[in-house]
Structure 1
């Protein structure tokens, strides 16, 4: 059936057979072909057989090496460190496979060697002035961590893999930052780094370069913008402090109202609280405060004693008056036994404290 179809196609094409379509040649990857190689710009020819002239030149070089042995060994042997791999271009054509680590034999006359460091390297993206999405000019710099996973691609597909990675990182940083607002840049720096890493990796993987990490270092704002942001932050902090202070005063006023309601039920409690406050002030400031004690505080304690004294004397009006002269002050006080009131003949009231003291003395029969 296939032969008949081919004949029909040839007859329809005027007796000419259809040309064979050759498949695109792809070099196996460095890890044994487990993963497909990336799209390449330049097709290599390491599997193509050498031409006659190339074979003749190789034979002549081998003859010179044997003729100059053992001196030729000094220039034909080279070492490759563990972290590097060597690529050999013989007469300009890539030789199949990588060389190293260890000793590698080369033909110095016709072999061109390239050692590729496969360790992680750092590319510093210099500071750039970028205009954000909300028309704010900022200065941004970053650091790119990358490594070479395909030494052949890093030599064949690009002239300088390190310089190319640095330049593409600068361009990508500018493009990504230009699509973000200032607020997003300041609050989502980690997400910005991931976007830059993905964008750079989509280009450098064809060069055999793997971008491992991208970190946005500094975002420098204009001086005027920094001042406005600082004043805004200060205003927000002051507003929060006022809100907290108002809430505290509200809670304190509620607590004071509850305490006043409790103290209003008993006047003695309020007076004792007053004395406690005075005592605390005196202890803190190291001063003495002489404060008259209202007689109303002691009335509950004095009522019983006065009643007992009146019962012993046989009722009111049977008391005996007593006079006491004070030569120093010139005042005379008159009291009546049986718990009567105290009078001062000099016209002065004597104060609440004096009333309390004399009343207490009379109650105890002093």
Structure 2
């Protein structure tokens, strides 16, 4: 009977341990609770007189300037509320519709607004990087040479790439306090947002996970305390054996990684050496190697000698002067002469491939229809190197 109870206790403890491994707090369970935020972006004003009936009259009714025109500063609290101050500048463009008439000349637009916003995630539940909000407020706007106080309502969302950086998209309706002398209008905005003095906490899901983990820990402790000393010793011995096995496996993986890293470093070093060699450049209508060219090839030979598994391809080219047929023939001579020099230094021809492209792969604009100085033409008369195998 005692052995049966002990077996059941051990089975129950194992079940709890497996469940606790599945339920773990992660970064996704941690959210920003409060912060300061500044944003900088652009704003678009629709003051056509029918802005609420024709929201997307972009061509005739939307006004924007081609530079940052909106800045905001806000303080956001863990209860979902935010207090914000926003300054905007814009320009009503000549020829567009303003208050149902064609605007006769460019007119500056200035706005200073204050609002209270509310994070809809407090109602909808945390949606990760998507952060919708609503808000109300008031402000002062000087538009179309008319100053007016406004009542404001905003709908927007922010999308966060990290705890600090994100984008802010919003649309604000502005209703003039003096409706007889000033019109209502809409203001759209998008900007880069930066949060600082960030304070984080657990989301609802994270709090539920934490409570579950705490309950599971208590239950595990209760079951563990009921296990006999001998069973505890056997369990410790088993855990010790597992730990040693994990350490052995970790040591094996570390050794394999070190070996791979060393091999990757060796390959990278060889690739970098080949890349830094530069190219062989030929004189006009010539396939002969200069002293400088041979020095470059000697360095390549040294790399090949030190790396027996390295195989390369030599590609030869000409400038655009001359016929296509002649240039193809000349590039083949250049390729062969380059390869022959390398082979003459004791490198197996099986490790050297070559191809000739004539004037088909110019490195600049100097084609048959573009006059160029000799210096630019000389950049195309070359042999280049590419690694085919670097095991």
User: 1 or 2 for the larger relative contact order (CA 8 Å, sep ≥6)?
Assistant: 2
Both proteins in one fold, TM over 0.5: no
Instruction: Report the TM-score, using the length of structure 2 for normalisation.
Output: 0.24
Larger Rg belongs to = 1
Instruction: Report the TM-score, using the length of structure 1 for normalisation.
Output: 0.26
Q: Going by fraction, where is helix more abundant, 1 or 2?
A: 1
Q: Going by fraction, where is strand more abundant, 1 or 2?
A: 2
